[in-house]
């Protein structure tokens, strides 16, 4: 299939106010290098996308660049990849919108090693309702179970930033696997949703501004932190002896101000989680896990779908903490 000459895209550019994103028309040469051409049907709005589009953090390493760190759609030209035309695929956990043109465009061209075929029966909309958020949450659960020895009978598990994209999906997956989940959120209005997803307890985000002791009352045997900063330090102080915290967020800051006491007195495990360029076999395993743990009904409950033309407002909302759950961008029909 030949690539159209006029492709609708959301492009990050340097402006007088800093880096900003805006709708534009691009050509085939703007799609970057790769041997697989995908017609994008859906993308998603992630916190990193919001940071990039509003200039709040330097995400794009070269400008101008098409934004969007996720993409899902239909293979238009498989090249020599071994994929086949018409196959449903997704690209998550690569360098889209950082070093390579991203998924906020009607087409994306990428190396075949970045492409993951969707599990049987999964739609491209579902894959973007999951996206980076769900795949990372699944990897965090995997680490807690495989590295931290966590299982449902171990005790309560906490999720911070529970009303966000990763947080809602983490709550749902943990509950589906039989865990006693405490959802911690700064959005009180999301309590009904979090309980619907399976949280047994919903707590307000802790006040981490005051000076505290290096160890506090221990409450959970495991935790998933989507926030970072002082919230992560608080989790470490409040995790039970031998417990584990899987961390992948930085909305609360990149710095971690803590002491060694949770580690040397309580034996806490801090497990880092990244979705960037996983081993293909492990990536496939995680997609199968989220397919099993996140049925369509759950994804519908936590996801809003917007038109491509509404993308700018959604990117502003996510960095201003006005987004609950996931946001999927519909670029074209899956059929």
Spatial distance between the Cα atoms of 24 and 86, rounded to a whole number of angstroms = 26
Kindly tell me if the per-residue pLDDT of 335 is higher than 80.
Answer: no
Spatial distance between the Cα atoms of 245 and 269, rounded to a whole number of angstroms = 6
**7-117+300-330 maps to CATH 3.90.180.10:** yes
Query: Matching CATH topology for 7-117+300-330 and 132-272?
Result: no
The CATH code for residues 132-272 is 3.40.50.720
DSSP 8-state symbol, 96: B
What is the percent of the chain with per-residue pLDDT over 70, rounded to a whole number?
Answer: 99
pTM of the model: 0.94
User: Per-domain residue ranges for the chain?
Assistant: 7-117+300-330, 132-272
Task: Summarize pLDDT for 74-115 with one digit per residue, the tens.
Answer: 999 999 899 999 999 999 989 999 999 999 999 999 999 999
Q: Residue 80: what pLDDT?
A: 87
CA angle, 165 as apex, 232 and 201 as ends, to 5°? 65
């Amino acid at each position: 299939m030949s690539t159209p000459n006029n492709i609708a895209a959301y492009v990050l550019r340097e402006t007088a106010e800093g880096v900003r994103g805006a709708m534009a028309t691009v050509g085939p040469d703007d799609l970057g290098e790769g041997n697989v051409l995908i017609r994008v049907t859906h993308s998603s709005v992630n916190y990193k996308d919001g940071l990039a589009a509003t200039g709040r953090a330097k995400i794009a390493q070269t400008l101008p660049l098409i934004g969007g760190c996720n993409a899902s759609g239909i293979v238009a030209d498989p090249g020599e990849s071994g994929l086949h035309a018409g196959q449903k695929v997704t690209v998550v956990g690569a360098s889209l919108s950082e070093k390579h043109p991203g998924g906020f465009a009607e087409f994306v061209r990428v190396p075949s090693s970045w492409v993951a075929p969707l599990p049987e029966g999964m739609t491209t909309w579902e894959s973007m309702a999951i996206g980076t958020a769900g795949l990372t949450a699944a990897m965090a659960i995997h680490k807690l179970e495989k590295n931290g020895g966590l299982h449902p009978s171990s005790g309560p598990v906490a999720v911070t930033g529970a009303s966000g994209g990763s947080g809602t999906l983490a709550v749902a997956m943990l509950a589906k696997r039989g865990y006693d989940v405490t959802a911690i959120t700064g959005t009180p209005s999301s309590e009904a949703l979090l309980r619907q997803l399976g949280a047994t307890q919903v707590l307000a985000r802790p006040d981490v501004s005051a000076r505290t002791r290096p160890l506090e009352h221990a409450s959970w045997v495991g935790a998933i932190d989507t926030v970072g900063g002082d919230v992560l330090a608080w989790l470490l102080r409040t995790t039970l002896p031998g417990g584990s915290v899987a961390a992948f967020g930085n909305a609360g800051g990149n710095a971690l101000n803590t002491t060694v006491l949770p580690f040397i007195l309580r034996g806490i495990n801090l497990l880092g989680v990244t979705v960037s360029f996983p081993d293909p076999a492990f990536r496939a395993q995680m997609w199968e896990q989220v397919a099993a743990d996140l049925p369509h009904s759950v994804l519908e409950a936590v996801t809003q779908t917007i038109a491509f033309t509404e993308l700018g407002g959604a990117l502003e909302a996510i960095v201003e903490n006005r987004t609950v759950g996931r946001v999927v961008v519909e670029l074209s029909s899956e059929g």
